[in-house]
A and B are shown apart, each in its own frame.
Chain A
Amino acid sequence: MSEPRLLEVRRNVLKQNDIIARALREQFRETGVFVVSLVSSPGSGKTTFLEKTLTQLQPRYRVAALVGDLATENDAVRLARSKAPVKQITTGTLCHLEAAMVQSAVQAWDLHQLDFLFIENVGNLVCPSSYDLGENLRLVLMSVTEGEDKPLKYPTIFNSADVAVITKNELADAVEFDWGAARKSIESVRPGMKIFRLSAKTGEGMESYLEFLLQQLSEKRAVAQT
C-alpha cells in the first residue's frame, strides 16, 4: 500500500454553529433587540437573578427570556412569574445551548416587539464557551459562595464573556468573601472586564447593572441607525 498523503483542507468544525450565530446577530440587529446571554455554574443563582432583571425592566421595557435546562421546566415556571414571555429549551442530555436551538426558539416571536432578550444557558462553565449564540453581550455570573478563584479555574468561559456579575452579596460576610481577590482573578483572565457586585435577593447593586444594560441598548440602537 502506498504512503498516506497529506491533504490540506482547513475546515472550521463549528462552522455550522457560527453561520447560524452570525445570521441571528444580524436578525437581532435588524429588529433592534438587545440580546444578553447568561452563563454560570449550576446553583449560582442565574434564575433568581434573571427573574429580578425581568421584573425590574418589565414596567418600562419589553423583555423576554429563553431558558436552557437539561430536563425540567422549573426555571421557566419561576420566570413566568415576572409576566414576561418565557420559553424553555429543554436540551435533554446536551450540556450547552447551540445557535440553532436559539434560532428555532425565537421563530414564533416578533423580535421587533422586544427591547431585551435574555438567554439563560445550561448551568455549566465549560461547554457553553465554544458556542456563539449571536448574543450582543455574554454575562458570566458567579456567587460569593463559589470562591474567589473561580475565574482562574474556568478561564476560558470568563475570557469569552463581556461582563461579570458577582451575586448573593448578602452572604458575602458570612462566607468571608474577599472582593479584592475575586476582582484580581477576573482581571487576570479577562483584563478590563466590567464587574458588578450585587444581591438579586435584596436588590442591592441591581440599579447600576440595569443602568448599564439600558446604556448598552441605546448605544446599539444608535449604531444601528447610522
Chain B
Amino acid sequence: MHELSIAMGIVEAATDEAERRGVRVSGVHLRLGALSGVVKDALLFSYEVACQDTPLQGSRLIVEDVPVAVFCPQCKEQRLLPSLQSFACPECGTPSMDIRQGKELEVFALEVEE
C-alpha cells in the first residue's frame, strides 16, 4: 500500500501551487491512469489523512479515471483498452505495446477560492 505516500505527494504539489498563486484550495482534480499502479479507493482514503494539519485540510480530491489507450499498428488508430488483461486492439485483435495514455498520475487542476 503506497497510496499514502502518493497522497502526500498530491498534497505537497497542490500546497506548493496554491502558495505560489496565493489562493485557498477547496478541491484537487487528479488524472489517474489505469496503469499508474495506484488504487483509487485507497488513494481517496489516504488523501484525507494526508491533508491533516496542512492548508488543504477539508479539501476534496476529485479523481478522473484515465483508461489505457494504445495505438493499433493495423488499424492505424488509437484505441481504448476495455481491460488491462489484454494489450491488443479491441477491434482487430492486433497486440500493441504502443501505449498512448493510461500512466497518468497528475494534479491537473485546483478548485480555488480567492
Interface residues of A (CB under 8 A from B): 1-2, 4-16, 94-96, 126-127, 129-130, 152, 155-157, 159-160, 187-192
Contact = CB atoms under 8 A, between A and B. Distances in A.
A189 B84 contact: yes
Contacts of A127: 1-2, 37
Given A94-B5, A95-B2, A191-B97, A13 B10 contact: yes
B47 to A, nearest CB: 12
Contact of B113 (A4, A16, A96): A4
Contacts of B112: 4-7
A7 B5 contact: no
B92 to A, nearest CB: 14
B110 interface: yes
B95 A4 contact: no
A11 B1 contact: no
B76 interface: no
Contacts of B71: none
Contacts of A5: 111-114
Interface in B94-114: 95-97, 105-114
A interface majority secondary structure: mixed
Interface string B37-49: 1100000000000
Given A2-B113, A191-B97, A9 B108 contact: yes
A7 B27 CA distance: 10
Interface string B1-42: 110011001100110010001010011011000011110000
A34 B79 CA distance: 35
B37 A13 contact: no
30 contacts: A5-B111, A7-B112, A8-B108, A10-B106, A10-B107, A11-B17, A11-B107, A12-B105, A12-B106, A13-B10, A13-B13, A13-B106, A14-B6, A94-B2, A96-B2, A127-B1, A127-B2, A127-B37, A130-B38, A152-B85, A155-B84, A157-B37, A189-B84, A189-B85, A189-B86, A189-B87, A191-B88, A191-B97, A192-B95, A192-B97
Given A6-B109, A160-B37, 4 more contacts: A13-B10, A13-B30, A14-B6, A14-B105
B1 A95 contact: yes
The residue in B21, B30, B86 that gathers the most chain A C-beta atoms within 10 A of its C-beta is B86
Q: What are the 6 tightest A-B residue pairs by CB atom distance, in nearest-first order?
A: A191-B95, A129-B37, A130-B37, A155-B84, A127-B2, A4-B111
B109 A156 contact: no
Contact of A9 (B27, B96, B109): B109
A142 to B, nearest CB: 16
A13 B107 contact: yes
B91 to A, nearest CB: 16
Contacts of A2: 113-114
